[in-house]
Structure 1
Amino acid sequence: MATTASETNLDRDRLELALQSARLGEYEWDLVRDIFCVSARMAAVTGLPVGDWPAGGGELLYSGLHPEDRESTRRTMEESMRATGRFETEYRRIRDDDGRTVWMRSSGLLVRDADGRAIKVCGVVQDVSDRHLEEERRRTLMSELDHRVKNVLATVQALAFQTAKRTTSLDSFLATFAGRLKAMGSANELLTAARWRGAAIGHLAAAELGGLAPHQTRWDGPELFLTPRAANALSLALHELATNAVKFGALSTETGRVDLRWSRIADGGFELFWTESGGPSVTPPIRKGFGSTLLAQVTGRELNGETEVEYRRGGVRVRLRASAAAVVERPEQVPEAPVRQAVETVSHPTGPTDLTGARVLIVEDAVLLALELETGLADAGAEVIGPAYELSEAMALLDQQIDAAVLDANLNGLSVTPVAEALAARGIPFVFATGYGDSAGAPLGFDAPIIRKPYDVTQVAAAVAAVLHAL
């Protein structure tokens, strides 16, 4: 059946549309005349001028390739055409019009005449720079993530070592170390919400002081955002000051107050004052602990400034000065409010917890955390069901007798919501033990206590006991 002119035109229109949609540029290399035909789309993609040009045995095509890719690309194309009559390759090209280096993907087909003689090469090119840029960004992000994780692990190791050197009992070590991890976690959550671009001093202060003594603490100052390094340092410093104030200082009495104020200084940095009043009479400590060392050395260095601590009789006063290097511009994304006290709804227990006879389901995908939970709940007298590390494992355990459950919010990328819904339908209480904040996908539609990681297992046990006793 003969092909009509209208059908030919339709096929041509379809080809044009396909090339345009895919942002492809077509070309033809006449091997007999050694002429390279550059189409308008090919010119737009490569920067070559439109028209028919002497190919120079292929030099017109290869000369624009990046020097590091030129010979390998030529070899790949020529060997592939000899072997299969076609080729497909990617390379960098330096555009002829503006000198930009772009990534190109090129495919071609060798056309032969009736006698088998190669007469031309027909092909298409595509600018794939965006994909290579995205791959490079992904590699950079993974490298940065690896760097940050190693830094966090090293910091945690150092905190553990320094805390252990300055505590005299296991209970004291666990309580102190857990508090410091909480401070780090709070700062990191704020940084994550701002895509690791910075954290506001006001948010750091609220996260550390907001839940301690709402009517005895206040903080005020301009909106200033700190680098991740400075934010972590200040968060730890505020935690140490708050801990000491609760144990020995102004917050150890109902009449004491803590006032935290900061202001920007002329060089672009800031100055922060922590002032305690109304508490017990203060005397300088006989022995300096890790908190004092952190304030005196680490905080000042990490903030490129200095720290002064005064043990006034009426209350401790701390002046912290930081340079402009610790301050960053306001990030594009900033959390609306601190997340630590808003999310964590369970306080630390004041005594041992008794879970004797309670059958408690543990759903946690991190093996070490699950083992820690299992040990802690068993020590409190509970009969542990699980642990379940996957959503399917948790669902399979629901037909057993369960008195309460501890649920991680996310199990290897899957929401724990189906388990929570099934438990709620049966009237079984549960506690969320999660690393997610209020806006990060935790299943907060349920009326259940929430404990943020890193947590103290005794806190989880106390929360389980509380929901059981509430029945």
Structure 2
Amino acid sequence: MSEPTPQTLDLTNCDREPIHRPGRIQDIGAMITVDAGGVIRHASANAGDYLGVAARDLLGRPAIDVITPEVLDALRRQAAQARGDAPEHCRAIRLHERGTLVDVALFDSGGLLVIEAEPADSAGGHELARRVREIVRHLDVAGSHIELCQAGADQLARLLGFDRVMVYRFDDDGSGEVIAETVRPGVGSFLGQRYPAADIPQQARALYRRNWIRTIADVDGPLVDILGDGAGVLDLSLSALRAVSPVHLEYLRNMGVSASLSVSIILNDQLWGLLACHHYAPRAVSSQRRTAAELFGQIFSLALQSRQIRDEADREAKARSVQDLVLARVAATRTTTRELGALLPEIAATLAADGAALSVQGDVRLWGEAPSREALAGILDHLRREPPTELRIVESLGEWHPAGGSGLGDAAGMMVLSLSRVPRDYLIFFRREYARTVVWGGEPVKQVGPLGDRLTPRKSFEAWQEVVRNRCAPWTPLDRRIGAGLRLTLAEIVLRLSQELVDEQQAAQQRQQLLIAELNHRTRNILALVSGLVAQSRAGVERADGTATAAMAFGQLEGRVQALSRAHDQLTRQHWRPAPLRDLLAQELAPYDTGPRRVRLDGPDVLLTPRAFSTLALVVHELATNAAKYGALSAVHGSVSVVWQRQPDSALRIAWQETGGPPVQAPLRQGFGSTFVEQSVPFDLGGEARVSYEFEGLKAWLVIPAAHVQDGMAQPAAPAATAPTATPQKRSGRVMVVEDDFIIALDLRAALRRLGVGEVATASTVKQALAAIDAAPPDFALIDVNLGGETSFPVADALAAREIPFAFVTGYGDDAAVLGRFAGRPVLRKPFDRTALASLLPAG
């Protein structure tokens, strides 16, 4: 029987393959599942190698029969902490007394606890973390976007030792391109090659978004069946051992690849691309090393996103400066189409356009590589026949308007801004042809093979070139945002030109529409500014360049987070019921209450609902921070008075008064803090807010509606925080941090060093901490309560036995039930601030 003739098809059967339910795993580890009653329901055929009991004999057996009870309890505790989108891990444990050291991954699948075991890595987690820190430093010095991607490929290859590491970026159409690569000498390059969207099916992309890392140890290695009822429908989306689609294995074999590993690159919660690793011999990567690679991928994604935010912000700032220039010139002269036409070169430059056309009231102005007037008339006529839209993108002008012919000139694509509804005025930007040669990794068409409807992978990976003609360079989302901003700016000017030709009613309607659009535009800018503040504050701290701007931005962000944290703690102590206003004010103002009559609080005992309590906590924080920087609390003899009382309608009126500070002037611009003070109470609570910048001191009035206020006895205020220390004290001795979260450990170490501590040691497990205490006893220790699947109480016992002072670090707050017999010990609550941390340290 002859083979069917290959034919070109647009098949999606790869997209229908249930790759998350393969019913098998790779042989680099073993797997069992345990139901809620503790009974083993599934076992991989090789599970006996890890548990000492034949796999079939495990089915239906209590897990406690084959796993040491203490270990099983630890696994259950760890599994209880698992998020729905990520496994939890236990490192270097023995499942039973005679078992070897294994790394274990835990996740839920349809109500079953999945336990995966692999041989433990001989390299310690600290060593891998140190290596990740070292290679991440190389990302900071990368210049351009492409240089950052190349640094990512180079450093991941250094961490994992694969023959080839690529940065693979997805385009809007789903196809991908290798934009950076590092390869072992003698291995051919894939740099610059593109691959069609069908090479990575949709369900595979969904798994890449859900699971950051995917490994194939050996494309020809044996696969291990999962035994037990329903093994074929067991969802292994979060499994590190999950068997790979036979289609994908054949795909890799055709490339000559024996092992692969992929790390997702996720920007703004979308799959942007992959860090794809190939090896030309089998290569198993341990669980700990994969975790290090996953951490690197997440840091790389953040760095890439931060770089994109910065680059886009720079370009948008340039576009806004051009818009300001246009408005300034228009304001200085009598506006006509001729004056606007003269500004086309500056306007077009913000969009990298090669030509432009402005058509207002039938008056047409052309600049640069634009179509002829006759061809433009056809384009305008075509636009007026189509449904109206504020912004239209055309990347192939010849396909959109074939009748244009040679009159289109060098214009290949356009962006159309609609400046009015009637009589349909337009500003059009043109781009010339972006003729380019696309190098595909094999012809970008899949064919039906001998298996019929089952798709066979492409077997040729030789470069196949395609010349793309008659299209412009793509218009990016940033281009669209800049275009939308230009449209709003120019629409106002065009409206001014049109007012004499329309009646007053039509003009009023257009002004209203324009104002609504402008308000929407400005609102989006405010939201983008807040998002940029967070991203740039983080980026400034990550760069650690020491600039005052970065430090101030981070300090503001940290202060707001701490204010919310304090409010949350107070509400938690009230079991999330209404909490006392007096406690809130005392907590926020305690750091500044440093002398007689420095802070005065006066009013009846009232309680605020949790919603009002949280909102008011940030409002008071902003007022206090402003007073400490610029107002009464910045002066030695300055004071703040807060007086509150119930009104006849039972609403609560709060008056804030500053005196004794420097002369007050109204700010030239309104920042986030003042905006929040004046608008959050009306917006969130339906109340009122007013701020008055009086010469003798700032005044503010807030009215909280009665629905958010109750009469009640005030609870004792929280202990006052110590005043912030201006400069770190020099502290002698050695501090040990016991924390199993890498990022929190780094944060604590950096904070301690900023406070003047010379030597900081870290440990992530009880075993490591006890060994460190024996080797070099610290002078002080900070220990997290929960360290993965174990508590830190043995470390606390060892420190107490040596009379070494220590404090707990925990997100549980000061709950005595959590600390048990150590309830009297100091506690540093997460998220911690520098003041609280400094108060715990012994003096040098």
Q: Do both share a fold (TM > 0.5)?
A: yes
Q: Deviations over 1:327-373 (max 9, x none)?
A: 3576xxx99423352xx5x65442256568x5421122444212322
User: Which residue does 2:586 correspond to in 1?
Assistant: 206
- Deviation, 1:205, is 0.6
1:190 aligns to 2:190 (yes or no): no
User: Which residue does 2:170 correspond to in 1?
Assistant: none
Cα distance in 2 for partners of 1:158, 1:452 equals: 30
User: Which residue does 2:559 correspond to in 1?
Assistant: 179
Question: After the TM superposition, which residues 19-30 of structure 1 pair with which residues of structure 2 at under 5 Å, given as runs?
Answer: none
Cα distance in 2 for partners of 1:393, 1:335 equals: 46
User: Which residue does 1:455 correspond to in 2?
Assistant: 832
1:323 aligns to 2:702 (yes or no): no
User: Which residue does 1:101 correspond to in 2?
Assistant: none
Q: Supply the AA of the counterpart residue of 1:244.
A: N
- TM-score normalised according to structure 1 size: 0.56
Q: Is the alpha carbon distance of 1:207 and 1:468 closer, same or farther for their aligned partners in structure 2, counting shifts above 3 Å? A: closer
Question: After the TM superposition, which residues 381-420 of structure 1 pair with which residues of structure 2 at under 5 Å, given as runs?
Answer: 382-388=758-764, 390-391=765-766, 393-408=768-783, 410-411=785-786, 416=792, 418-420=794-796
1:286 aligns to 2:668 (yes or no): yes
Q: Supply the AA of the counterpart residue of 2:830.
A: K
Q: Deviations over 1:413-443 (max 9, x none)?
A: 9765553443244243434444454454554
- Deviation, 1:271, is 0.8
User: Which residue does 1:218 correspond to in 2?
Assistant: 600
Q: Supply the AA of the counterpart residue of 2:786.
A: L
Q: Quick check: 2:606–2:714 contact (8 Å CA) kept in 1? A: no
- TM-score normalised according to structure 2 size: 0.33
Cα distance in 2 for partners of 1:190, 1:459 equals: 16
Indicate the SS of the match to 1:397: helix
User: Which residue does 2:799 correspond to in 1?
Assistant: 423
- Deviation, 1:295, is 0.6
Q: Supply the AA of the counterpart residue of 1:315.
A: G
User: Which residue does 2:116 correspond to in 1?
Assistant: none
User: Which residue does 1:251 correspond to in 2?
Assistant: 633
User: Which residue does 1:263 correspond to in 2?
Assistant: 645
Q: Quick check: 1:230–1:303 contact (8 Å CA) kept in 2? A: yes
Cα distance in 1 for partners of 2:727, 2:591 equals: 20
Cα distance in 1 for partners of 2:790, 2:680 equals: 40
User: Which residue does 2:716 correspond to in 1?
Assistant: 337
Q: Deviations over 1:259-312 (max 9, x none)?
A: 111112233321111111122221111222211010111233222111100111
Q: Quick check: 1:190–1:338 contact (8 Å CA) kept in 2? A: no
Q: Quick check: 2:592–2:723 contact (8 Å CA) kept in 1? A: no
Cα distance in 2 for partners of 1:440, 1:399 equals: 29
Q: Deviations over 1:209-235 (max 9, x none)?
A: 123224310212222222222111100
Q: Deviations over 1:100-148 (max 9, x none)?
A: xxxxxxxxxxxxxxxxxxxxxxxxxxxxxxxxxxxxxxxxxx9xxxxxx
Indicate the SS of the match to 1:275: strand
Indicate the SS of the match to 1:271: strand
Q: Supply the AA of the counterpart residue of 1:254.
A: V
Question: After the TM superposition, which residues 82-161 of structure 1 pair with which residues of structure 2 at under 5 Å, given as runs?
Answer: 161=532
- Deviation, 1:445, is 2.7
Indicate the SS of the match to 2:773: coil
- Deviation, 1:319, is 0.2
Moved more, 426-435 or 260-269: 426-435
1:238 aligns to 2:617 (yes or no): no
Q: Is the alpha carbon distance of 1:369 and 1:315 closer, same or farther for their aligned partners in structure 2, counting shifts above 3 Å? A: same
User: Which residue does 2:677 correspond to in 1?
Assistant: 295
Q: Is the alpha carbon distance of 1:264 and 1:160 closer, same or farther for their aligned partners in structure 2, counting shifts above 3 Å? A: farther
Q: Supply the AA of the counterpart residue of 2:831.
A: P
Q: Is the alpha carbon distance of 1:407 and 1:270 closer, same or farther for their aligned partners in structure 2, counting shifts above 3 Å? A: same
Q: Deviations over 1:224-267 (max 9, x none)?
A: 22222211110011111111111111111221111111112233
Q: Is the alpha carbon distance of 1:463 and 1:261 closer, same or farther for their aligned partners in structure 2, counting shifts above 3 Å? A: closer
Q: Is the alpha carbon distance of 1:296 and 1:190 closer, same or farther for their aligned partners in structure 2, counting shifts above 3 Å? A: same
User: Which residue does 2:737 correspond to in 1?
Assistant: 362
Cα distance in 2 for partners of 1:312, 1:186 equals: 31
Cα distance in 2 for partners of 1:197, 1:158 equals: 34
Cα distance in 1 for partners of 2:675, 2:607 equals: 25
Cα distance in 2 for partners of 1:354, 1:440 equals: 33
Indicate the SS of the match to 1:318: strand
Q: Supply the AA of the counterpart residue of 2:782.
A: L
Q: Is the alpha carbon distance of 1:336 and 1:355 closer, same or farther for their aligned partners in structure 2, counting shifts above 3 Å? A: same
Q: Supply the AA of the counterpart residue of 1:350.
A: A
Q: Quick check: 1:159–1:177 contact (8 Å CA) kept in 2? A: no
Indicate the SS of the match to 2:592: coil
User: Which residue does 2:726 correspond to in 1?
Assistant: 350
Q: Is the alpha carbon distance of 1:396 and 1:200 closer, same or farther for their aligned partners in structure 2, counting shifts above 3 Å? A: same
Residue identity over aligned pairs, in percent, reads 36
- Deviation, 1:382, is 4.1
Cα distance in 2 for partners of 1:247, 1:213 equals: 15
- Deviation, 1:179, is 1.2
Q: Quick check: 2:583–2:715 contact (8 Å CA) kept in 1? A: no
Moved more, 275-284 or 212-221: 212-221
Moved more, 289-298 or 158-167: 158-167
Cα distance in 2 for partners of 1:328, 1:335 equals: 11
Q: Quick check: 1:213–1:251 contact (8 Å CA) kept in 2? A: no
Indicate the SS of the match to 1:467: coil
Cα distance in 1 for partners of 2:711, 2:773 equals: 50
Indicate the SS of the match to 1:283: coil
Q: Is the alpha carbon distance of 1:417 and 1:278 closer, same or farther for their aligned partners in structure 2, counting shifts above 3 Å? A: farther
Q: Quick check: 1:408–1:432 contact (8 Å CA) kept in 2? A: yes
Report the aligned-residue RMSD.
Answer: 3.5
Q: Quick check: 1:262–1:273 contact (8 Å CA) kept in 2? A: yes
Indicate the SS of the match to 2:700: strand
Cα distance in 2 for partners of 1:463, 1:204 equals: 21
Q: How many residues align?
A: 303
Cα distance in 2 for partners of 1:424, 1:174 equals: 36
Q: Quick check: 1:365–1:408 contact (8 Å CA) kept in 2? A: no
Q: Is the alpha carbon distance of 1:385 and 1:416 closer, same or farther for their aligned partners in structure 2, counting shifts above 3 Å? A: same
Indicate the SS of the match to 1:211: helix
Q: Quick check: 1:207–1:339 contact (8 Å CA) kept in 2? A: yes
Indicate the SS of the match to 2:636: coil
- Deviation, 1:180, is 1.0
- Deviation, 1:468, is 5.3
Cα distance in 2 for partners of 1:305, 1:222 equals: 19
> Which one of 806, 814, 824 corresponds to residue 445 of structure 1?
824
